[in-house]
Amino acid sequence: MNGEANTIRGDAAAPAPITSDLRLSVNKDVHPITVDTRETLLDTLRERLDLTGSKKGCDHGQCGACTVLVDGRRVKSCLTLTVTVDDREITTIEGLAGGDSPHPLQEAFIEYDAFQCGYCTPGQLCSAVGMLAEAQDGWPSAVSEGDGPVVLDEEEIRERMSGNLCRCGAYPNIVEAIRRVAP
Amino acid sequence: MRPFGYQRAASTRAAVEAVGAGDGAVFLGGGTNLVDLMRLGVATPHTLVDVTRIAPATIEETAGGGLLVGGGVRNGELAAHPLVRRRYPVLSQAVLAGASGQIRNMATVGGNLLQRTRCSYFQDVTKPCNKRQPGSGCPAREGDHRNLAIIGHSESCVATQPSDMAVALAALGATVHVEGPGGPRAVPMPGLHRLPGDQPQRDTVLGPGDLITAVELPPLPLAARSRYRKVRDRASFSFAVVSVAAALEVAGGVVRDCRIALGAVAHVPWRAETAEAALRGAEATEAEFTRAAELELAGARPLPGNAYKVPLARNLLVRVLTDLAEAP
């Protein structure tokens, strides 16, 4: 997996980029923007809109550091082409807090020391927000048994958060922080 | 990544026409596999035709008691649907066993069926691969094939089909509804995917412009007692090493009917018809389950590095059937 294929190169021999004019709704702000069709939502957020909270880890949908919410559902912004989401509402880590008040999950991550280097944390938080909404909607996971309401114990949280890696290994505290916020 | 055009199809017909011309346009669903393959240089479409706004995204009951699942339904929605969970638990479990929460929210039902193999040679453009570049060779036979096919492979390709959902659909005998340049048609599962033969570049029987509009689940009362079990290298967010989808109906200690498919063993979701035939009318005992599994796997031709998958598949199948037989 070298990084070269990810780079949009501007050499003269390369075919001309194809662009699209669109309006992107991020954290309730609408941004008129011209994007290369190859641009991922992650790159648009970070490089064009200066929303650098979402992180690029693997850039292959495997680590979860780029997780954002699209219409309230968690997705990987590194696998989302920006041109595909101009009619969606995007929420990033910068949009989770209400004014000066951190989101309850953000407070819990601080209280339970749920990170070390912090690189995966924005993705963990956006993923946890989406995961709690899925559980609220009664969505099962691979470890759920029966048809009853979802009970977010440690096993459920670990399974439902498996799309977010933490190379510092802060998992025990991440699970604990989420458990404290889960109903 | 090569520059590409992007268009949002206004209708199914328009999407089929845009891709059916065969000049390098492809359908875009959730993009979880395609966008990655484009980034790796494996896929180089000149236009993406986004079908997520027009592909049906509903799950409806059919007159006969089955379900019609729109091709645009997201995987997460499919797994959570109450009727899917009640009537076809094997399907809900299979979908939930695959990928991660984020990817299941993006991936569509149609796209899931058409995802490409995760064989490492296929995904690495610096290596030969008959599937990616016909005629270039297959290094997997002599190289890393630990998690590749044990059944139905050919000299030219030993890749496996990676979808968990497809294994459940093959067991259930689902019907894939396709809209193509020649009009609508129905493709049975199994039967959508094909063995590699000497054309490993073709994963399925679909041609350019064939769009999966829906997957129909037949009325199948025995599927209420069904399950999916997946062996993998880590407990979550990992492709199968071997998986089993099975439904079992037992009366008076005898197998009345069953449906069985194996995953991650072949270029197709492998419907275990030999084992099914051996089990119908047999006693629902571990000994009979073992006999049926061994009959099914008698045709396995493992490579040196993946022979372990044969006993693994046998043991997993026996365990799943035993659990189903003993379930209250």
What is the CATH classification number for the domain harbouring B39? 3.30.43
Q: Do B96 and A8 touch (CB under 8 A)?
A: no
**Amino acid identity, position A145:** E
What value does the mean pLDDT take over residues A54-68?
98
Q: What is the pLDDT of residue B22?
A: 80
Statement: residue A10 has pLDDT above 70: no
For residue A1, pLDDT beyond 80? no
Determine contact, residues A90/A68, Cβ cutoff 8 Å. Answer: yes
- Our CA-based measurement puts residue B77 at a distance from the nearest CA of chain A, in whole angstroms, of 8
- Is residue B79 situated within a structural domain? no
What is the spatial distance between Cα B308 and Cα A53, in angstroms, rounded to a whole number? 44
Class of domain A104-181: mainly alpha
Residue A21 neighbours by CB under 8 Å, 6+ apart: A32, A33, A34
Is B289 inside any structural domain?
yes
What percentage of residues in chain A have a pLDDT greater than 70? Answer: 93
Name the closest residue on chain B to residue A133, using Cα atoms. B101
In terms of DSSP bridges, do strands B211-217 and B175-180 run parallel, antiparallel, or are they unpaired? antiparallel
Best probe of the B interface among A4, A7, A73, A82, by most B CBs < 10 A, is A73
| Joined tokens for residue A77 | 């912004």
Mean pLDDT of A125-142: 98
Position B78 in a domain: no
pLDDT band of residue A99 (cuts 50, 70, 90) is confident
Cβ–Cβ gap B101/A38 under 8 Å? no
Chain B contact for A55 (CB, 8 A cutoff): no
Q: Rounded mean pLDDT of chain A? A: 94
Residue A182 CB contacts under 8 Å (≥ 6 apart), including other chains: A132, A135, A152, A157
Question: Among B5, B36, B236, whose Cβ lies nearest the Cβ of A142?
Answer: B236
- Give yes or no for A59 touching B (CB within 8 A): yes
Count of domains in chain B? 2
| Whether A66 contacts chain B with CB within 8 A | no
In a domain, B120, yes or no: no
Residues of chain A with CATH 3.10.20.30: 4-95
Tell me if chain B has a CB within 8 Å of the CB of A82.
no
Give the domain extent around B284.
Answer: 228-326
In a domain? residue B98:
no
Average pLDDT over residues A41-45: 98
Is residue B28 in some structural domain?
Answer: yes
Residue numbers in B near A38 (CB within 8 A): 1, 3-4
- How much is the pLDDT for A8? 53
Report CB contact under 8 Å: A163, B86.
no
Please write down the HEC assignment for all residues of chain A: CCCHHHCCCCCCCCCCCCEEEEEEEECCEEEEEEEECCCEHHHHHHHHCCCCCCCCCCCCCCCCCCEEEECCEEEEHHHCEHHHHCCCEEECHHHCCECCECCHHHHHHHHCCCCCCCCCHHHHHHHHHHHHHHHHCCCCCCCCCCCCCCCCCHHHHHHHCCCCCCCCCCHHHHHHHHHHHCC
One-letter-per-residue 3-state SS of chain B: CCCCEEEECCCHHHHHHHHHCCCCEEEECCCCCHHHHHHCCCCCCCEEEECCCCCCCCEEECCCCCEEEECCCEHHHHHHCHHHHHHCHHHHHHHHCCCCHHHHHHCEHHHHHCCCCCCCCCCCCCCCCCCCCCCCCCCCCCCCCCCCCCCCCECCECCCCCCHHHHHHHHHCCEEEEEECCEEEEEECCCCECCCCCCCCCCECCCCCCEEEEEEECCCHHHHCEEEEEEECCCCCCCEEEEEEEEEEEECCEEEEEEEEEECCCCCCEECHHHHHHHCCCECCHHHHHHHHHHHHCCCCCCCCCCCHHHHHHHHHHHHHHHHHHCC
Which residue spans of chain A are classified as CATH 1.10.150.120?
Answer: 104-181
Digits of tens for pLDDT over chain B (328 positions)? 999 999 999 999 999 999 998 889 999 999 999 999 999 999 999 999 999 999 999 999 999 999 999 999 999 999 999 999 999 999 999 999 999 999 999 999 999 999 999 999 999 999 999 999 999 999 999 999 999 999 999 999 999 999 999 999 999 999 999 999 999 999 999 999 999 999 999 999 999 999 999 999 999 999 999 999 999 999 999 999 999 999 999 999 999 999 999 999 999 999 999 999 999 999 999 999 999 999 999 999 999 999 999 999 999 999 999 999 998 8
Q: Using CA atoms, how far apart are residues A64 and B104, in angstroms rounded to an integer?
A: 13
Which residue in chain B is spatially nearest to A68 when comparing CA positions? Answer: B102
| CATH classification for the domain delimited by A4-95, as one of 3.10.20.30, 1.10.510.10, 2.40.30.110, 3.20.20.70 | 3.10.20.30
What number is the ipTM of this complex?
A: 0.96
Contact A58/B at CB under 8 A? no
pLDDT tens track for B137-167: 999 999 999 999 999 999 999 999 999 999 9
In a domain, B86, yes or no: no
pLDDT reading at A13 higher than 70: no
Domain CATH number, residue B273: 3.30.390.50
